[in-house]
Amino acid sequence: MDAASLNMVALALGAAGFGCFAWPIIQRLNGKAPAEAPGSGKSLRSPLWWAGFVLTVAAIFLQRIASQQAGGV
């Protein structure tokens, strides 16, 4: 894969990851998600949040690989 394609894949993964990462927060702000008790250990760490975190980290690594292929520093 060339650097431009990797950049586009990284951008798509980053956008999807950010959407998954931010969705529980948006639901909580809109009042649609039930509030957990303080100290319950669940605060916004849903499976969707973790999927967003993993997708965002994958996007960062792909971006680094793309910049190395393009001859960037």
* pLDDT tens sequence across 34-70: 666 555 555 556 788 889 889 999 999 999 998 888 7
Count of other CB atoms within 10 angstroms of residue 36: 13
Residues 6 or more apart whose Cβ sits within 8 Å of residue 56? 13, 14, 17, 18, 21
Angle at 24 between CA 33 and CA 16, to 5 degrees: 150
Q: Which amino acid is at 27?
A: Q
Q: What is the pTM of this model?
A: 0.72
Q: What is the pLDDT of residues 8-21, one digit of tens each?
A: 999 999 999 999 88
pLDDT value at 73 more than 60: no
Task: Name the residue with higher pLDDT: 40 or 5.
Answer: 5
